[in-house]
Amino acid sequence: MNPFHPLRGRRLSAVGLLAATALLAAGTAAAAPDATTVKASTLGAQAAQSGRYFGTAAAAGKLGDSTYSTILDREFNMITPENEMKWDTTERSRGSFNFGPADQIVNHAAAHGQRMRGHTLVWHSQLPGWVSSITDATTLRSVMKTHITTEMNHFKGKIYAWDVVNEAFADGSSQHRGSVFQNVLGNGFIEEAFRTARAADPAAKLCYNDYNIEDWNAAKTQGVYAMVRDFKSRGVPIDCVGFQSHFGTGGPPASFQTTLSNFAALGVDVQITELDIAQAPATAYANTVKACMNVARCKGITVWGVRDSDSWRTGQKPLLFDNNGNKKPAYNAVLTALGGTPATTARASAAALPSSFRWSSSGALIAPKPDSTHNIAGIKDPSVVYYNGKYHVFASVASSSGYSLVYLSFSDWSQAGSATHHYLDRGAIGTGYRAAPQIFYFAPQKLWYLVYQTGNASYSTNADISNPNGWSAPRNFYASMPDIIRQNIGGGYWVDMWVICDSARCYLFSSDDNGHLYRSQTGLSQFPNGFTNTVIAAQDSNKFALFEASNVYKVQGSNQYLLIVEAIGSDGRRYFRSWTSGSIAGSWTPLAATESNPLARATNVTFPAGAWTKDISHGEMIRAGYDQTLTIPSCRLQYLYQGLNPNASGNYNTLPWRLGLLTQTNSTC
Ligand code: XIL
């Protein structure tokens, strides 16, 4: 944001239409993707285009392996802990619960916008001896209830679907297998487990999960089918059936699709939950995916591990990535069967984002709340993360005497207007020029960072985002303004600092209200220190075309980064232009980058609640996660922005800015 410049006081004369190619470097001149036919280049993003997910089993101990986590976060949008939620980990001795390893995975998933399957609550295997040696029904019933309830409560709100009972049927038979649960509690133990689970977390889907139930003609399949039909007819809570799908080289049985659709017809979702196929033949994988794609209630597919070296069947090389993390032929077959285009044949810009955008805006959701010491006129420059069930919004507040920062949180946008405003100048951040905040969680240090402008680029840290008094005093990223900025800033202002990191480096962007976007970099392990090598990342000879409020995001499930920059249009109104790049430090290719094809401008926004603003100005996308990677979804983007009564005029600092929310209406997924 521009702190002092009275630009809004006068209408700017014709700035002219901006050429889409006006920005820097040549970039790859790939054909822009067509909004209606765009294919994704990763499994998760492509599955999302048909409303499905693509997941994997993951191990907490491997999250620190960067080859592993890079693939995990690029390709998969659902995670099942491979072992961390099993009884022998979570309740090794009676009443003593350990959720640490599973929490690591759940936190990773939340930070990267991935959903979770919970696996598993009641299973005869990986069961501690103290449970399997119980002989008395009253004790076992109580132990089972406590286990289900405690574990589900711990993860409440974070699990899409639970495998409540796993592998309860005997091989080659339509009867239950022998187990302590079956032997001590009898046939009713499955029903008891599901009823307990529903009471513990009514929002989670409850699945029965098993292997060798993919062939419709198998006795075991018929046994599980009869159970689900019985549960549905008697109102026993069950929402889904998981087909593990641990296949031999031949892949799925010919009747697999029939099995999926017959179960779905009982009124449950079906999911492929642990897919791996000996030797990973491409056709066998494609046939499995097609069976799911052909059944509307087949909601998603999970493979049982990332690389062959991660597999429990490692000798059979059954997965989609080889030991080095390279895609195997089966990977491309799966992507194609999901409806996508493998990278080798895809256009260079294959992207999940369209090349033109349409939005619908809310009314003004958040207005300033002046108090006796904050005589403010506007609330501006919002930064927002969704964390722990709440939106956390940081913003500038403006008055004729200058700028400071405010924090508010709420669980739902309908509550945004009534949230309490906490002024951050009451704590260690202090008074004086502090504006244009950016919030993110820096996972390597387990700390929240608030980045803001003070004349320098500054930051404060806090272990608890919800504690407005917990922020540290401002520190500067730079000893002084980097030379290249001093040499190019002209009559502009140094504003809108923005940090984003990939797996190796962090980058600090800033604008100068004079047509330049700057970028500095440091190592991930050095952050927040060491920002050097400041360069001009983008520039435009028309300063209004590349003005301020730049954001850079990682697009989930693609190899793309999105750059958006606020411009001032020929009508004097604020709007956004956009570019993409394959890397944060790469050159930027125009996406929707003109006045006539903008990212967001009053002209491509509808206002069902009334056209309260003609400016779409400084704000932030709602992210898929909340960490330093600044990952946004590729579908149904949302952008929290500042807007303004079109009739307002006067001093820029006392204009009545309000915050509203754009929701993309033309996403193809
Ligand atoms: C396997 C894990 O992959 C192994 O690491 C572990 O040693 C044994 O369990 N059916 C299931 C999964 O439901 O939990 C199993 O996972 C594989 C078979």
Q: What is the pLDDT of residues 249-280, one digit of tens each?
A: 999 999 999 999 999 999 999 999 999 999 99
Quote the tokens at residue 446: 């387990």
Q: What's the pLDDT tens digit per position in 151-172?
A: 999 999 999 999 999 999 999 9
| d(CA 125, ligand 1 centre) in Å | 9
Cα 58 to Cα 56: distance, rounded to the nearest angstrom: 6
- Residue 402, pLDDT score: 87
Give the pLDDT score at 400: 82
Which pLDDT does position 346 carry in this prediction?
35
**Structure-token pair, residue 625:** 């996660």
Ligand 1 atom at minimal distance to the Cα of residue 57:
3
Kindly give the number of the ligand 1 atom that is closest to the alpha carbon of 123: 13
pLDDT for the residue 634: 87
Q: Minimal CA–CA distance to 261: which of 241, 247, 287, 276? A: 241
Rounded to whole angstroms, how far apart are CA atoms 334 and 97? 38
| pLDDT at site 343 | 54
628, 634, 636, 639 alpha-carbon torsion, rounded to 10°: 40
Q: What is the pLDDT of residue 341?
A: 64
Per-residue pLDDT band at 556 (split at 50, 70, 90): confident
Percent of the chain with pLDDT over 70: 92
Average pLDDT for residues 638-656, to the nearest whole number?
Answer: 93
Q: Catalytic site residues?
A: 167, 274
- Given a cut of 50, is residue 309 above it in pLDDT? yes
The pLDDT mean for the chain works out to 91
DSSP β-ladder status, 505-511 and 495-501: antiparallel
Q: What is the 50 CA–ligand 1 centroid distance (Å)?
A: 29
Q: What is the pLDDT of residues 494-547, one digit of tens each?
A: 999 999 999 899 999 999 999 999 999 999 999 999 999 999 999 999 999 999
The pLDDT > 90 percentage for the chain reads 84
As a whole number of angstroms, the distance between CA 215 and CA 213 comes to: 6
The pLDDT score that the predictor gives to residue 650 is 87
- Ligand 1 centroid vs 310 CA: distance in angstroms? 12
Spatial contact of 207 and 163, defined as CB atoms under 8 Å apart: yes
Task: Enumerate residues lining ligand 1, CB below 6 A.
Answer: 82-83, 166, 244, 274, 312
Lowest mean pLDDT among 30-39, 344-353, 398-407, 533-542: 30-39
Place of tokens 């967001």: 600
How much distance in Å is there from the Cα of 287 to the middle of ligand 1? 23
Residue with CA at minimum distance from ligand 1 atom 5: 312
Asked if the model's pLDDT at residue 28 lies above 70, the reply is no
Which of 56, 62, 82 to probe ligand 1 with, by most ligand atoms within 8 A of CB?
Answer: 82
Q: Round the CA-based radius of gyration of the chain to a whole number and report it.
A: 27
Does the structure show a pLDDT above 80 at 552?
yes
Taking only the tens place, the pLDDT of each residue in 414-425 is 999 999 999 999
CA separation for the pair 519, 535 (Å, rounded): 5
The closest residue, in CA terms, to atom 15 on ligand 1 is 82
At 581-597, the pLDDT tens digits run 999 998 899 999 999 99
Q: Whose CA is nearest to atom 13 of ligand 1?
A: 166
Structure tokens at 203: 């929002």
* pLDDT at res. 27: 31
Q: How high is the pLDDT of residue 358?
A: 95
Higher pLDDT, 266 or 35: 266
DSSP lists the bridge partners of residue 506 as 501, 522
Per-residue pLDDT, averaged over 403-420, amounts to 95
Q: What's residue 13's pLDDT? A: 34
Strand-pair partners of 621: 639
| 372 phi, psi to nearest 5 deg | -65, -25
Per-residue pLDDT at 2: 65
Q: Which of 7-21, 32-46, 598-612 has the highest mean pLDDT?
A: 598-612
Nearest-CA residue for atom 4 of ligand 1 = 312
Q: pLDDT class for 389, splitting at 50, 70, 90?
A: confident
Reading the block at residue 631, the tokens are: 């990952």
Q: Could you tell me if 381 and 1 are in contact, meaning their C-beta atoms sit under 8 angstroms apart?
A: yes
Which pTM was predicted? 0.64
Which atom, in ligand 1's list, is nearest to the CA of 211? 10
pLDDT tens digit string along 199-243?
Answer: 999 999 999 999 999 999 999 999 999 999 999 999 999 999 999
Report how far residue 174's alpha carbon sits from residue 190's, in angstroms, rounded to the nearest whole number.
Answer: 15
Cα 494 to averaged position of ligand 1 atoms, centre (Å): 55
- Mutational pocket test of ligand 1: of 125, 165, 169, 309, the residue with most ligand atoms within 8 Å of the beta carbon: 125
Closest CA to 425 of 382, 468, 483: 468
CA-CA distance, 114 to 56, in Å (whole number)?
A: 11
**How much distance in Å is there from the Cα of 274 to the middle of ligand 1?**
9
Is 31's pLDDT higher than 80? no
Q: pLDDT of 445-484, one tens digit each?
A: 999 999 999 999 999 999 999 999 999 999 999 999 999 9
Atom 9 of ligand 1: nearest residue by CA position: 83
Measured distance CA(450)–CA(388) in Å, rounded: 18
Atom of ligand 1 at shortest distance to CA of 167? 13
Over residues 303-317, the mean pLDDT reads 97
pLDDT at residue 25 is higher than 60: no
Predicted local distance difference test score (pLDDT) of residue 85:
98
pLDDT band at 36 (very low <50, low <70, confident <90, very high): very low
Instruction: Give yes or no for a cis peptide into 431 (omega within 30° of 0).
Output: no
pLDDT per residue as tens digits for the range 71-108:
999 999 999 999 999 999 999 999 999 999 999 999 99
Tell which residue, 637, 642, 620, 90, has the closest CA to residue 366.
642
Mean pLDDT of 29-36: 32
539 neighbors 22 (Cβ within 8 angstroms): no
Kindly report the protein residue whose alpha carbon is nearest to atom 16 of ligand 1.
Answer: 82
Mean pLDDT confidence for 436-441: 97
Q: Could you tell which of 171, 208, 303, 304 is best to mutate to test the pocket of ligand 1, judged by most ligand atoms within 8 Å of the CB?
A: 304
